[in-house]
């Protein structure tokens, strides 16, 4: 059985390594992706950032921003 974690804003995810921003309510695939979007105590829009890619949680289908894989 998969545990679904829910934030008070309604966002849901399943991976325990996921980081959810309580300020902008975007969900990130880990602390590095989360930290990339936080600059000077403000949230940067991950859609405008190089190095982040939008994916989906495999169970909930909700958006999760992850560090983009380097192209080989």
- The mean pLDDT value of the chain amounts to 91
Answer whether residue 1 shows pLDDT above 90: no
pTM of structure: 0.85
pLDDT at position 27: 96
pLDDT at position 9: 93
pLDDT at position 70: 67
Q: What's the 3-state SS for the chain? A: CCCCEECCCCCEECCCCCEECCCCCCEECCHHHHHHHEECCEECCHHHCCCEEEEECCCCCCEEEEECCCCC
Tokens 């974690």, residue located: 5
């Amino acid at each position: 059985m998969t545990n679904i974690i829910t934030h008070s804003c309604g966002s849901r995810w399943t991976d325990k390594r996921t980081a959810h921003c309580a300020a902008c309510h975007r969900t990130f695939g880990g602390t590095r992706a989360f930290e990339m979007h936080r600059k000077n105590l403000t949230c940067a829009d991950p859609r405008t950032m190089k190095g982040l890619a939008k994916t989906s949680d495999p169970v909930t289908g909700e958006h999760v921003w992850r560090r983009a894989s380097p192209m080989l």
